[in-house]
Structure 1
Amino acid sequence: MSNPVLRAFFFGRALAEVLNEKVEETFTNALSELGKFDAEQRERLRKFVEEVQARAEREAAQESTTGATESSGDLQEEIDELRAEIARLRAEIKNFRS
């Protein structure tokens, strides 16, 4: 291959192929990491919800065994606070995803 134009052509083609492979590899890795991050966030949210439900069930069981009852206003206030916390966490997760 003594023709410089021919050598430049093959060099350019090889360069384009290697760059294309590297970009594809980087893009694939980025998508993989994004998918992994999304799965981790969903798992954390699932565990959080399970923890809240378990705590609520424990407290409800404790209340029923002691015979003490909370006023409905206090209970509604607690429910509203929990809903607000869940909404805030969902918004944070949405911000992470975008």
Structure 2
Amino acid sequence: MSKPVTHAFFVGRATAEAIVDRLEDTLTDFLSAVGKFDAERREDFRNFTEAVMSKTVRVETTAAATYGTGYSSADLQELIDNLRAEVAHLKSELQQYREQNGISQ
């Protein structure tokens, strides 16, 4: 074997090893970034969930203080029925408005 061929072999081998090292580093960095992103999203979701639950407790407490907890099942059903009637009435008025003004849905 001649010396230039041996030299070319070792240069190629060193180049391949350097490329593999770079790919390993790049893959490691990428996987680290993905893991960090996932952890941040999970933390954001946890914080969001806690904020929603905290607000729910505040609203429930305020509603209980404002309206009391003395509603019977019949009172709640009447309230629901009244709200449904209001929604139906508003839908009807909205439909009439759309028809009068030529607005399609």
TM range (shorter): 0.5 to 0.7
Runs of 4+ in 1 over 4 A off after TM superposition: 68-74
Gaps of 5+ in 1: 75-98
Is 1:42 the counterpart of 2:45? The answer is no
Relative CO higher for 1 or 2, CA cutoff 8 Å, sep ≥ 6? 1
Residue 30 of structure 1, CA deviation: 0.2
CA–CA separation in structure 2 for the residues paired with 1:62 and 1:10: 77
Is 1:27 the counterpart of 2:27? The answer is yes
The count of aligned residue pairs is: 73
CA–CA separation in structure 1 for the residues paired with 2:20 and 2:59: 58
Q: Which amino acid aligns with 1:33?
A: A
Query: Could you tell me which residue of structure 2 aligns to residue 9 of structure 1?
Result: 9
Residue 72 of structure 1, CA deviation: 5.1
Identical-pair percentage: 41
CA–CA separation in structure 2 for the residues paired with 1:14 and 1:72: 77
**Partner deviation per Cα, 1:16-54 (whole Å, 9 max, x = no partner):** 000000000000000000000000000000010000000
CA, structure 1 residues 38+11, in 2 after alignment: closer, same or farther (shift >3 Å)? same
CA–CA separation in structure 2 for the residues paired with 1:59 and 1:72: 19
Query: Could you tell me which residue of structure 1 aligns to residue 54 of structure 2?
Result: 54
Query: Could you tell me which residue of structure 1 aligns to residue 64 of structure 2?
Result: 64
CA, structure 1 residues 63+8, in 2 after alignment: closer, same or farther (shift >3 Å)? same
CA–CA separation in structure 2 for the residues paired with 1:39 and 1:13: 39
CA, structure 1 residues 38+19, in 2 after alignment: closer, same or farther (shift >3 Å)? same
